């Protein structure tokens, strides 16, 4: 069997996605997600111009060899564009391997380690009362873990708080919009939000919070300490992770668990944080960390150091990535949680899939491969549309330094 075609498909059914579809001479196809939020066309060009020509004629069964060929063979390694492109190839090849073996991919990864994949949803609102309503809605939907985000009094808007509560897309404009940020207002407000949520829903519901890299290490330590009475499952992205030493300071001052890694691209980005046990959950993703092959390496390293998975799963990851993530989530021994933001009906039309939600769990398809595809005719109806994430400025107009 040989690869005879590889197509890069860019579509925007409400938000932009980049998908690679690999075709073999025996008619078996595989799909991989290559979406990089706000930089989608960079990955599409990398694939079309620099990767697709290398794939034609290769044996699709040689997944590891192909991964090494694309990574080691490029002088300019790592980085989100390169690793998203490699991820798309790797994911598509796993899809093909599952179809050839007539097995769902998780069976090729060692089989089930659990019955279902525990997911968490996003409850958010402008006020605490709004948040309580949304948490109650997710509880009614069967969720066992819920991320809580709230508007900050005195700020006109807060990243992570949306108008549409089930389908949140933060990339909101053709050019980056700007928002105002106040660390002091935020630190004063967040603990009061979680106090109300705990009072309303009791001690056993798993609660999470995303800081979105907004704090310095000592500010994050203060937040973690103030949240300890409310027993969060994790405090996500408290500081930018370019400086791993900052996490040591956080660890010295709080026992609130820390999750980080959605912007990581390789095991080398995460290795120090994992080995020094400075984090509790690693949030790397299939699409941004080199595919199933490389993400499995990250999770294996994490398992040796009491760190669980907690993969990013926002709407900028297509159903192809979500399907791949679920197969890996189901197989690894150190699974923690999987983020799950529901896609729109238009996205589900473009990416027909077999995974399903039930009672707080996602279940991958039992069909051979990943159990997801792309409808190229439907994709063609939704052309690319530029969209960027917002930029934060402090109240004095300074671009937020973290």
DSSP string, 164-214: SSSS-----BSS--EEEE-HHHHHHHHHHHHHHHHHHH-SSSEEEEE-TT-
Give me the CATH number covering residue 301.
3.20.20.120
> Are the CB atoms for 32 and 87 separated by under 8 Å?
yes
d(CA 13, CA 287): 19
- Residues 143, 60 within the same domain: no
Give me the CATH number covering residue 29.
3.30.390.10
What is the per-residue pLDDT for 231?
A: 98
> Are the CB atoms for 251 and 302 separated by under 8 Å?
no
Element (H, E) at 148: strand 145-150
The b/e string for 278-302 (b: 16+ C-beta within 10 A; e otherwise) is: bbbbbbbbbbbbbbbbbbbebbebb
What is the per-residue pLDDT for 357?
A: 97
Residue 353 catalytic?
A: no
Q: Which of 168, 212, 363, 388 is catalytic?
A: 212
- 42 within domain boundaries: yes
What is the per-residue pLDDT for 270?
A: 97
- Residues 68, 192 within the same domain: no
3-state secondary structure of 17: strand
- Residues 91, 177 within the same domain: no
> What is the extent of the structural domain holding 351?
108-366
Residue range 190-207: average pLDDT? 98
- Residues 116, 137 within the same domain: yes
Q: Does 119 have pLDDT greater than 80?
A: yes
What is the per-residue pLDDT for 156?
A: 87
Between vectors from CA 315 to CA 220 and to CA 138, what angle results, nearest 5°?
Answer: 75
3-state secondary structure of 346: helix
Residue range 16-31: average pLDDT? 98
What is the per-residue pLDDT for 75?
A: 87
d(CA 142, CA 158): 27
Please, which residues have CB within 8 angstroms of residue 162's CB and are 6 or more apart in sequence? Answer: 124, 168, 169, 170
- 265 within domain boundaries: yes
pLDDT band at 304, cuts 50/70/90? very high
Q: Residues 179, 400, 270, 305: is their CA dihedral positive or negative?
A: negative
Q: Which of 159, 357, 384, 388 is catalytic?
A: 159
Residue range 253-275: average pLDDT? 97
Q: Does 167 have pLDDT greater than 90?
A: no
CB atoms within 10 A of CB 163: 7
- In the listed set 104, 136, 157, which residue is the last one of a domain according to the structure? 104
d(CA 29, CA 95): 8
- 99 within domain boundaries: yes
3-state secondary structure of 285: coil
pLDDT band at 201, cuts 50/70/90? very high
Residue range 318-328: average pLDDT? 98
Element (H, E) at 159: none
Number of domains in the chain: 2
- Residues 171, 138 within the same domain: yes
- Residues 122, 218 within the same domain: yes
Per residue, what are the HEC states of 301-313?
A: HHHCCCCEEEECC
| Summary mean pLDDT of the chain | 96
> Are the CB atoms for 337 and 233 separated by under 8 Å?
yes
What is the per-residue pLDDT for 160?
A: 79
Largest CA distance in the chain: 62
3-state secondary structure of 100: helix
pLDDT band at 291, cuts 50/70/90? very high
For 48-103, the pLDDT digits (tens) are 999 999 999 999 999 999 999 999 998 889 999 999 999 999 999 999 999 999 99
Residue range 173-195: average pLDDT? 93
Q: Does 183 have pLDDT greater than 90?
A: yes
- 213 within domain boundaries: yes
pTM given for the model:
0.96
CB atoms within 10 A of CB 66: 22
pLDDT band at 165, cuts 50/70/90? low
- Residues 125, 68 within the same domain: no
For 35-52, the pLDDT digits (tens) are 999 999 999 999 999 999
- 386 within domain boundaries: no
- 388 within domain boundaries: no
d(CA 3, CA 59): 6
- Residues 96, 244 within the same domain: no
> What is the DSSP track for 238-251?
-S-TT-THHHHHHH
At 195, list the tokens. 């106090």
Q: Residues 277, 270, 289, 181: is their CA dihedral positive or negative?
A: positive
Residue range 222-245: average pLDDT? 96
The phi, psi pair for 383, rounded to 5°, reads -70, 160
Residue 327 catalytic?
A: no
- 376 within domain boundaries: no
- Residues 194, 310 within the same domain: yes
pLDDT band at 169, cuts 50/70/90? confident
Q: Which of 260, 169, 276, 158 is nearest to 208 (CA)?
A: 260
- In the listed set 64, 86, 104, which residue is the last one of a domain according to the structure? 104
At 212, list the tokens. 């979105």
- Residues 232, 126 within the same domain: yes
Q: Which residue has the higher pLDDT, 387 or 326?
A: 326
- Residues 99, 112 within the same domain: no
d(CA 150, CA 140): 20
- Residues 249, 130 within the same domain: yes
- 246 within domain boundaries: yes
């Amino acid at each position: 069997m040989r690869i005879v075609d590889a197509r890069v498909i860019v579509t925007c059914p409400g938000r932009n996605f980049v998908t690679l579809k690999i075709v073999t001479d025996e008619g078996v196809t595989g799909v991989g997600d290559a979406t990089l939020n706000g930089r989608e066309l960079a990955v599409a060009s990398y694939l079309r111009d620099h990767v697709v020509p290398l794939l034609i004629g290769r044996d699709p069964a040689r997944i590891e060899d192909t991964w090494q060929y694309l990574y080691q063979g490029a002088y300019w390694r790592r980085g989100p564009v390169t690793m998203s492109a490699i991820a798309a190839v790797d994911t598509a090849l796993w899809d093909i391997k599952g179809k050839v073996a007539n097995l769902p991919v998780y069976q090729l990864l060692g089989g089930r380690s659990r019955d279902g994949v525990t997911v968490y949803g996003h409850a958010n609102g402008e006020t605490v009362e709004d948040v309580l309503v949304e948490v109650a809605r997710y509880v009614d939907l069967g969720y066992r873990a819920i991320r809580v985000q709230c508007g900050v009094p005195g700020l006109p808007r807060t990243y992570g708080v949306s108008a549409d509560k089930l389908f949140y897309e933060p990339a909101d404009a053709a050019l980056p919009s700007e928002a105002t940020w106040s660390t002091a207002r935020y630190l004063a407000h967040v603990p009061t939000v979680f106090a109300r949520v705990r009072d309303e829903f009791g001690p056993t519901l798993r609660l999470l919070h995303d800081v979105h890299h907004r704090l310095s290490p000592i500010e994050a330590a203060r937040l973690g300490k103030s949240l300890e009475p409310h027993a969060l499952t994790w405090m996500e992205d408290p500081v930018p992770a370019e400086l791993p030493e900052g996490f040591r300071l956080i660890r010295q001052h709080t026992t609130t668990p820390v999750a980080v890694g959605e912007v990581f691209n390789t095991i080398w980005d995460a290795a120090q944080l994992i080995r020094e046990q400075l984090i509790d959950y690693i949030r790397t993703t299939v699409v941004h960390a080199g595919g199933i092959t490389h993400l499995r390496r990250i999770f294996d390293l994490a398992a040796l150091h009491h760190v669980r998975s907690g993969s990013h799963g926002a709407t900028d990851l297509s159903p192809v990535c979500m399907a791949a993530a679920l197969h890996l989530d189901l197989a690894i021994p150190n699974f923690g949680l999987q983020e799950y933001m529901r896609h729109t009906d238009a996205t589900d039309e473009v990416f027909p899939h077999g995974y399903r939600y039930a009672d707080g769990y996602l279940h991958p398809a039992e069909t051979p491969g990943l159990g997801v595809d792309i409808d190229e005719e439907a994709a063609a109806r939704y052309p690319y549309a530029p969209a960027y994430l917002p930029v934060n400025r402090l109240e004095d107009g300074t671009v937020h330094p973290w």
